């Protein structure tokens, strides 16, 4: 899984469980894509998280200003956000880091299909840059992004349409899922 960009949600995991999730695939840096790097679980608050990760030899970088799912400038619209210079700069940083070590995009939601790290960030990395993305599930299983997209298509009934390409069906499914989460138009 060289040059893979991983993704995971901290959810309500204990510190020990979270640590096991990121140590198993040998993550070198956690890229925090939360707009607000805070949690009711103190060890997922930015300063404590950075300290704990650094103490086990894993770097930490907050990219929520660039890749967060809740922009300060108003309502979230993932398709519009993916075209901004700030977002594209964040994506460039992820790709540059992925060339040097094994990163994991981290947000709060455990289910990738319920989180912008999949619906916005991973989607862009895969579609626009051909990146290999894989989602670390809460049980430690690693799901390739393509399998996550298959689940998205199954959820929105886009799997059997013979008149549209996979890319067209996925685009519609991404839009529907984002709308379900209250994002976009």
- Per-residue pLDDT tens over the stretch 63-91: 999 999 987 777 789 999 999 999 999 99
pLDDT for 1 equals: 45
- Per-residue pLDDT tens over the stretch 123-163: 999 999 999 999 999 999 999 999 999 999 999 976 566 78
Share of the chain above pLDDT 70, in %: 96
CATH 3.40.1010 is the classification of domain 4-144: yes
What is the average pLDDT score of the chain?
A: 94
Residue ranges per structural domain of the chain: 4-144
Q: How far apart are CA 86 and CA 130, in angstroms?
A: 20
Q: How far apart are CA 151 and CA 112, in angstroms?
A: 10
pLDDT for 160 equals: 64
């Amino acid at each position: 899984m060289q040059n893979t960009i991983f993704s995971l949600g901290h959810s309500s995991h204990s510190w020990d469980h979270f640590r096991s999730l990121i140590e198993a695939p040998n993550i070198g840096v956690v890229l925090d894509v939360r707009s607000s790097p805070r949690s009711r679980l103190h060890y997922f608050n930015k300063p404590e998280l950075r300290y704990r990760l650094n103490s086990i030899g894993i770097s930490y970088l907050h990219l929520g200003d660039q890749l967060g799912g809740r922009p300060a400038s108003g309502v979230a619209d993932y398709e519009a956000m993916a075209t901004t210079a700030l977002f594209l700069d964040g994506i460039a940083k992820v790709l540059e880091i992925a060339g040097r070590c094994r990163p994991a995009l981290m947000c709060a939601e455990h289910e990738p299909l319920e989180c912008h790290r999949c619906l916005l960030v991973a989607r862009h990395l895969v579609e626009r840059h051909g990146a290999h993305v894989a989602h670390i599930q809460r049980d430690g299983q690693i799901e390739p992004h393509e399998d996550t997209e298959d689940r998205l298509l199954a959820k929105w009934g886009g799997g059997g349409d013979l008149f549209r390409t996979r890319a067209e069906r996925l685009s519609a499914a991404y839009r529907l899922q984002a709308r379900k989460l209250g994002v976009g138009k």
